[in-house]
Structure 1
Amino acid sequence: MSAPYAAPFAAEDDVPRVLDRREGPYGEVVLRRHGGLLQIIANGTFLMDTSDGRSERLLVDLARDALGGRKEPGVLIGGLGVGFSLAHASADPAWGRITVVEREPAVIDWHAKGQAPPLAGISGAALADPRTEVVRADLLEHLRTTTATYDALCLDIDNGPDWTVTEDNGVLYAPAGLAACAARLTVGGVLAVWSARPSAAFEGTLRKCGFRAVRTEEIPVARGVPDVVHLAVKAA
């Protein structure tokens, strides 16, 4: 496991400081520094920071393991975020094509624009990986319009099925959205969905939509409700 990423900081960074604030296509997005951490906030809701990344890495590893040794599988990562999932996938030679879909231009810029992008310390090597492609698009729109197929979909675009950042994201976790996911998966492909808390209702929806081997893996936390990864396999 790689160590948590800490951005260089001075004493005055003990007070949260906004590095960039933009009005994006889906509302306000903010990059903030607090101590040695960088934080992403969307429409006033905390999304993620650079404090750990265990659950983001586990999202990728669980999907790979569930593929049962498939040779050079292609993976779509839904949501660039702070870059932990992308960086972890790129560090693993088992993956073939790595596609990242991110709808917020600002988030992509924080990784790749300018002389010293603030999040390049996490994602720089992965973005230079020839296997990596970044697509700026709404995830559901991409799933519905692309002709590409993937062996794994690793989705981390919200706080989970029961706690979406924007209202329209709820469609992704409903039958119509899951049908779009299934259409882009190869037979036996794996859908892995990060969530800030378990959702028995989402497990039930996955089963009703024809996915098999549905299960939920918890990521232990010091206190409170654990993060989880929901896993499901596309049936033949």
Structure 2
Amino acid sequence: MNNLQAPDFNKVKAYETRLDDVMEFIDTELLKQKLTEVEADFNTNPTEFNKVRLGIIYHEVALNLGFFSKEFKGFAQKSYDTLSEFVGRTEAELQPFVLSYRASALSLMASEKKKLALICKSFELFDQAIRQYGEIHYLPEFMRGSVAENLPFFYFSKKKLAKKDFQSIIDKNIENQNFANWKVMSFVYWAWAKQHQGKRYRTQAINYLDKAIALDPNYEAGRKRSEELKNKLLKK
């Protein structure tokens, strides 16, 4: 652990609740609206917490819009720079969010700038976040797994971390039902099934897809992709 005190699980979950509206978007129009709102909030009330929110929403913009529109280029760098201000310099309970999104922002910068060396640095930052906070919060493993599963094939040693990370989150959530929220688990179950499409894992994959669907009645997380993958697996 760094020089901050060990984080309190309940306080981490309280921050998760306060940050939930700037994490994990699938609706890009909602994301654009939220970007305007978060920037306005920070301009009106420039607290440390509101700046962390800003760094996270910049990441979501880079991830969901930066590769499709010149208007949103450079947001990965903005996210990384914003969150870098808070590494080890704010409450321990905020560090899982700061470190995880900062590492992911660096991986987005690597893709946008075509600087593959940044991928290795990104995973070094993920490893640090997991060592420090992986036992108390899902985000370090969830973010690393999400990046790992989308890497090019020649990063096979890092791609295999996705299976490890998503399985780890499932295991920890079995031990503690409050470890990860419904939205995250919907994505995690879908991701696990996506990585285990072989006949050997078919029954378990479909079971997890059913869980992902049940957790997301309003199509706000992994339901749509889970339904599509389930139909594909049932036809094999």
Q: Above 0.5 in TM-score?
A: no
Higher relative contact order (CA 8 A, sep 6+): 1
More strand by share: 1
Higher helix share: 2
